[in-house]
Amino acid sequence: MLSSSKTIRPALAVFAGLLAHAGAQTPATPVKGTPQAPAPKRSLGGGEYPDYDPAAVERGHKLFVTTCAFCHGANAKGGETGPDLLRSVLVLDDENGNKIGQVVLNGRPDKGMPKFSLTPEQISDIATFLHDRIKAAALRGTYQILNIVVGDPKAGEAYFNGAAGCSGCHSVTGDLAHIGSKYDAVGVQQHIVMPREERYGRSRGPVTAPITVTVTMPQGESFNGTLVRIDDFTVSLVDSNGDLRTFTRNGDNPKVEIHDPLKGHIDLLAKYTDSDIHNLTAYLVTLK
């Protein structure tokens, strides 16, 4: 099992960059300080809730699904890594994005929440969407499941077999044959973006496609295995006998070659547009 979060971080940085890229072009003004969560001012009794602008709710909904749903779940009720935002005191206490914006613009990198450069309007739309969800939950006791499948499956298919080069490593009649039954739409999208089970340094079971490493000594003797950790000074691997081996590094001595089976995915993160991911998701969910 891979226990180093080092190798995961660059991917997250690109991932966050990708998502931020999907949003605003203008760099956001950083808001200083960690927001404290004060006690909620509102009761959940209903009645006190304003009527939110449906157009803003819709824009916020779209942004949320593309930018936040990976972690907070498509319905904002919490996902694999992010908390339920409809029960968040901070969100309850937010007014028009003032609290949510601080978290979104600064992130909480040490806790797994990347920062995003979104405009004040985009943050306000997301906030409006979240408040509308809370209102709906409070008034009806129900949550609507959002439709994440907003892409064009035909375009996704073309991209899969063409420019993206997915078909170079995958087959829709082979390894991805029933991907649409294996995961829900959010899961499919998540696996396109971040296929490795272990994300953001949080271990969640075995890694299916581990990073391997070859360490070649100056005399020519070489060692292969699953990469455990690497930094400027040491590299550790677990060999086929299950033995942990650690080598001291001194520049190129010994020679270290890293093979990441998911490198293709990580490289693609820099290429995707938002609509590419939507289209791919729309295509792959049809593979039942």
CB of 227 to ligand HEC, least distance (A): 15
Window contacting ligand HEC (CB under 6 A); options: 41-49, 54-62, 113-121, 138-146: 113-121
Q: Is there binding between residue 265 and ligand HEC (CB under 6 A)?
A: yes
* Residue reference for tokens 């064009």: 152
Rounded distance between C-alpha atoms, residue 155 and residue 165, angstroms: 14
Of 169, 244, 258, 270, which one interacts with ligand HEC (CB under 6 A)?
169
CB of 183 to ligand HEC, least distance (A): 7
Rounded distance between C-alpha atoms, residue 281 and residue 171, angstroms: 15
Q: How far is CA 75 from CA 129, 136, 207, 212, 234, in A?
A: 11, 12, 27, 37, 43
Window contacting ligand HEC (CB under 6 A); options: 39-47, 51-59, 68-76, 226-234: 68-76
Rounded distance between C-alpha atoms, residue 94 and residue 191, angstroms: 32
Which 209-238 residues touch ligand HEC, going by CB under 6 A? 209
Rounded distance between C-alpha atoms, residue 130 and residue 161, angstroms: 37
The reply to whether omega before 109 is within 30° of 0 (cis) is no
Report the 10 Å Cβ neighbour count for 119.
14
Q: Is there binding between residue 59 and ligand HEC (CB under 6 A)?
A: no
Of 9, 108, 140, 204, which one interacts with ligand HEC (CB under 6 A)?
108
Q: In this complex, which beta carbon is closest to ligand HEC, that of residue 247 or of residue 280?
A: 280
Q: Is there a contact between 96 and 127 (Cβ–Cβ < 8 Å)?
A: yes
Q: Which residues bind ligand HEC (CB under 6 A)?
A: 67-68, 70-72, 81-83, 85, 88-91, 100, 103-104, 108, 111-114, 116, 126, 160, 164-166, 168-170, 179, 182, 188, 191-192, 195, 208-209, 261-262, 264-265, 268, 280
